[in-house]
Chains A and B, each alone.
Chain A
Amino acid sequence: SAVISQKPSRDICQRGTSLTIQCQVDSQVTMMFWYRQQPGQSLTLIATANQGSEATYESGFVIDKFPISRPNLTFSTLTVSNMSPEDSSIYLCSVDVAGDTEAFFGQGTRLTVV
């Protein structure tokens, strides 16, 4: 299993600014994933982050808008840049643990852009 600490848990931000979300795992993991959950919607994968390489982005998401860092095997950050009200969502990080089938989720960051 894995324990994931994600911060901040929530934030209210002004449009045009940026917010960096942190995801810390209590064990080393190969891949970390960032998802977005818009209000009342399902989870959509933003990108997959491997340590030591650039993140792989899904269709509709670009690095300039959602830059991701993965400096080591236990930590990743997602930045939401130049925010607009449409970016108001819950952002969740997720990890897979080698030898375990379950994907574990952080508690999420509830972002409101005003």
Chain B
Amino acid sequence: GENVEQHPSTLSVQEGDSAVIKCTYSDSASNYFPWYKQELGKRPQLIIDIRSNVGEKKDQRIAVTLNKTAKHFSLHITETQPEDSAVYFCAASSNSGYALNFGKGTSLLVTP
């Protein structure tokens, strides 16, 4: 089955700096890669996703890049703000019903 590795497990940045979280996956059939943000006590919320036919996608301060050959994808957050502090999860799916395999999560702390 699919195995998703996520690094780092914790990340602390100064407000205004950039944050990068990286994930690798094992199943070459995976073709859908979402990123979720989970604040304490809340459900995961999709922040950005990418499909395998695209190498990069951007939405304001958030971008995701995908390298299918190397089987890795990354989340980039620019101009970080304290409200970006949360746990971020990457996931991968082979599109067969959208069952997701999640990485272990990255706890991001943005300090003022």
Seen from chain A, the residues whose Cβ lies within 8 Å of a Cβ on chain B are 30-31, 33, 41-45, 48, 59, 92, 94, 96, 101-103, 105-108
Chain B residues with CB under 8 A of A33: 97-100
> How distant is B10 from chain A, measured CB to nearest CB, in Å?
12
Is there contact, CB below 8 Å, between B99 and A102?
no
Seen from chain B, the residues whose Cβ lies within 8 Å of a Cβ on chain A are 1, 32, 34, 42-46, 49, 51, 89, 97-105
Among residues of B, the one whose C-beta sits closest to the C-beta of A95 is B98
Residue with the highest number of chain B CB atoms closer than 10 Å, among A33, A96, A101, A103: A103
A-B contact list, 6 entries, CB within 8 Å = A48-B99, A59-B1, A92-B44, A94-B100, A96-B97, A103-B100
> How distant is A56 from chain B, measured CB to nearest CB, in Å?
9
Among residues of A, the one whose C-beta sits closest to the C-beta of B43 is A105
